[in-house]
């Protein structure tokens, strides 16, 4: 398995990979019923393309040039409110449910003030094809991302870790919990959970790692 920075000629293949994996099986996408395996989602695809354009994303690729996994990393500047912009533009209610939640947890923390920084390395999408899972690919993608963040002089990496396995993985790479939210406590005006996230995933964690 080779680990490479994702260059534009791979963007379409990456989106194809995500349609078969992350778009349908990431815990929040699954809870919101965002799409079926293999289906596209215009908002999530735009979000992915925009992140790819930051040139910080990495893929795990087989000898046969098949994408086994990806980690899409974005750059956030202090004056950006990327999450809110995505919400304002979207007309997909399920997508909005997810980004409202991500926006809500991120609004509780201002990394730029806390760490006196002007840019943030944001791990946005971590996805491994089901047939390649359990072989340490996600672990390697995280390690390569930490290396790139260091090379580009980032001081802080953050991630919204939505499931138990990504939380365990990132914690084992020295990520700490900035804040967390139990899914059954994120409710509508009638007290009903807005996203019914399947077990074993019980909470969303906003994680960070200081690298400088």
What is the torsional sign of CA 102, 206, 29, 197?
Answer: negative
> Which residue in the set 104, 112, 115, 165 belongs to the binding site for ligand ACO (CB under 6 A)?
165
Three-class secondary structure assignment of 58-127: EEEECCCCCEEEEEEEEEEECCCCHHHHHHHHCCCHHHHHHHHHHHHHHHCCCHHHHHCCCEEEEEEEEE
Least distance from ligand ACO to the Cβ atom of residue 149, Å: 14
Least distance from ligand ACO to the Cβ atom of residue 10, Å: 18
Candidates 22-30, 38-46, 177-185, 190-198: pick the segment binding ligand ACO (CB under 6 A). 22-30
Tell me the two tokens of residue 145.
Answer: 């991302």
Site for ligand ACO in 78-137 (CB under 6 A): 123, 125-128, 133-137
How crowded is residue 38: how many other Cβ atoms within 10 Å of its Cβ? 11
> Which residue in the set 25, 39, 66, 184 belongs to the binding site for ligand ACO (CB under 6 A)?
25
Q: Residues 32, 41: contact at Cβ < 8 Å?
A: no
Least distance from ligand ACO to the Cβ atom of residue 99, Å: 14
Q: Residues 77, 131: contact at Cβ < 8 Å?
A: no
Q: Should residue 49 be labelled a site residue for ligand ACO when binding is judged by CB under 6 A?
A: no
27 versus 76: smaller Cβ distance to ligand ACO: 27
Summarize as ranges the residues that interact with ligand ACO (CB under 6 A): 21-22, 25-27, 69, 123, 125-128, 133-139, 159-163, 165-166, 168-169
């Amino acid at each position: 398995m080779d680990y490479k920075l994702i260059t534009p000629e791979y963007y379409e293949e990456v989106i194809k990979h995500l349609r078969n994996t992350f778009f349908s099986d990431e815990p929040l996408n699954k809870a919101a019923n965002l799409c079926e395996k293999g289906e596209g989602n215009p908002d999530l695809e735009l979000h992915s393309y925009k992140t790819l354009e930051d040139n910080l994303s990495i893929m795990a690729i087989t000898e046969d040039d098949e994408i086994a996994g990806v980690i899409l990393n974005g750059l956030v500047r202090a004056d950006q409110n990327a999450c809110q912009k995505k919400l304002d533009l979207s007309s997909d209610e399920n997508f909005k449910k997810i980004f409202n939640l991500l926006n809500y947890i991120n609004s509780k923390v201002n990394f730029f003030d806390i760490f006196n920084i002007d840019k943030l390395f944001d791990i946005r999408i971590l996805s491994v094809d089901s047939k390649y899972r359990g072989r340490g690919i996600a672990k390697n993608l995280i390690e390569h991302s930490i290396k790139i963040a260091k090379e580009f002089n980032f001081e802080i990496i953050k991630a919204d870790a939505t499931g138990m396995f990504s939380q365990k993985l990132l914690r084992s790479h020295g990520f700490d919990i900035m804040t967390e939210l139990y899914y059954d406590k994120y409710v509508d005006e009638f007290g009903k959970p807005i996203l019914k996230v399947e077990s074993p995933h019980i909470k969303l964690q906003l994680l960070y790692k200081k690298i400088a």
